[in-house]
Amino acid sequence: MAITNYDPRALDEAAIRALNGRAAANPGNFVLVDVRPDRPGGDLPLSGAFKLRSLNAILGFVAEGIDTAPEFDVPPDAKTGPSGANPARALAVSVLDATPDSDVPTATFEGRVYAVDDTPWDRQPFTLLYQLFQMTVTDVSAVGVPITISK
């Protein structure tokens, strides 16, 4: 599998073989990323692979960030230019003693309330995790999923 900013089928045979070779060099749960500078979205070219994780591993990673390994601020890269938002945490989860008054998503576990912070930056990753969870437990064949991955 590959995520690209071009149609891999439009490449010549040698380039397709090279791309397939790069993809095959990774384990099966990796996705090749090949964003080229001469294509749409290529102002920040990227080449590599990322490992697909189970939803359980993702949630474990988020949970670990609450106490064991909290996120820390990373200064912006000079190559990307100014950013509209660059919070220190990508998905802030607060541990509370009572349910908050706002309509933020919450879960109660062992007498503590876990709540997603009430910012767009925190709600967007939570929504994405929710959608990923729904795709693992429901039939999405009739739903238009906004993710394109080329095989």
Q: What is the pLDDT of residue 110?
A: 82
Summarize pLDDT for 52-66 with one digit per residue, the tens. Answer: 777 777 777 777 777
Distances (CA, A) of 62 to 18, 89, 118: 36, 11, 17
At 25, list the tokens: 């060099």
Read off the amino acid at residue 55: L
Residue positions counted in the chain: 151
pLDDT for 134-143, tens place per residue? 766 656 566 5
Q: Whole-prediction pTM value? A: 0.50
